[in-house]
Amino acid sequence: MKPNAATPLGPIEHYTQASLPDRIIRQRVAHHNRMLAEELPDDPPFLVEDALRRMRHRPSTARTHLWVLRQGRSIVAEASLGWADLPSNRHSAHVDVSVEPHLRRHGIGTRLLALAVARARQVLRLRLFAHSSGRIPAGARFLRRHGFKAGFQHHLNQLAIERLDRALLARWLAAGTECAAAGYAMEMWDGPVPERWLVAFAELCGVMNGAPHGDLEVEDVTVTPKMIREGEAALLATGSRCLVACARHAASGVLVGFTELFWNPKRAAIVWQQNTGVIEAHRKQGLGRWLKAANMEALLAANPDARLVRTGNADSNAPMLAINRQMGFQPFIAGTGWQGRVPAVSARLRCPPGLRR
């Protein structure tokens, strides 16, 4: 139910990941669905039961603070501050502020951001990352006004399955025989990483450190088997499925490339292309096209209800964009990654002294 604009606002409430009750999760889903309707009005809504399961299966390294503002019984604005407690990026956190359209331009987002920034200072997370969508221009204006700088331009690209070039897919699959002749083999799985490949796959995931970050100050992350398993648990808790195709160098047995597709059967029309990467020494062999074609073929067999495949790409990532454009992906929504330093953002916010400690 949409909040009544005449209903007064309540006090700002603060929660941590450990203290977040189910009722707040349910109310957040309603808020997120109203925000979703603004950006992606044709998408199916987020589901409460999935949000509950996902929150109860958060990775052990995840840290989250949440501030919410209600109007009546509905959450109408929130700010979140989150980070992963890892050896790298120890001074970084991600901040997100969302305010429903009828309450914008009243200082609510600024109040919420001030609380998140104050907590970031307390926990020494002095480098903040944020994101804005081209579908909601107010987000970019808000971040720029408060001292964030644009550092990464990207697009959410989308492939309509009905426009997929099946003949092209068949050619890429046929070209896989050349990859095989060059000494490569394909490993595929539907679900968790097989135990025998777990360590090797975790090492392979490090290839994503080479993905473009623009001007954002992002440090490399060492992916561990535990991180893989905890990520799988969060995904599988909602009943989601994940298809993974890996290229293996036959002579050495080393995994040298991979690509991932995942979807929730309760929202089966929308599929997400996640990471795709090939180790530099094994590039220019056609492995990327072979992997993408094999995984797409598996998707068509596993999910007949798939209608759209979405993936995020840096605008500067020419090699990946070339493959995706050939497959039929088209620009869908522009996005910007932002970075802010806590002292500079605090100065723009003009926080009261109590919030700056």
Q: Is 284 exposed, middle or buried (0-12, 13-18, 19+ CB in 10 A)?
A: exposed
Question: Cα separation of 247 and 124, whole Å?
Answer: 40
Question: Cα separation of 90 and 348, whole Å?
Answer: 24
Q: What is the mean pLDDT of the chain?
A: 94
Element (H, E) at 25: helix 22-39
pTM over 0.85: yes
Question: Cα separation of 305 and 1, whole Å?
Answer: 29
Residue 167: CB atoms within 10 Å: 8
3-state SS string for 72-128: CCEEEEEEEEEEECCCCCCCEEEEEEEECHHHCCCCHHHHHHHHHHHHHHHCCCCEE
Q: What is the mean pLDDT of residues 21-42?
A: 97
What dotted CATH number matches 165-327?
3.40.630.30
What dotted CATH number matches 13-154+337-356?
3.40.630.30
Question: Cα separation of 269 and 232, whole Å?
Answer: 21
Contact (CB, 8 A) for 338 and 136: no
CATH 3.40.630.30 residue ranges of the chain are 13-154+337-356, 165-327
β-strand pairing of 127-133 with 92-99: parallel
Q: What is the pLDDT of residues 250-302, one digit of tens each?
A: 999 999 999 999 999 999 999 999 999 999 999 999 999 999 999 999 999 99
Banded model confidence at residue 353, pLDDT cuts 50, 70, 90: very low
Q: What is the pLDDT of residue 294?
A: 97
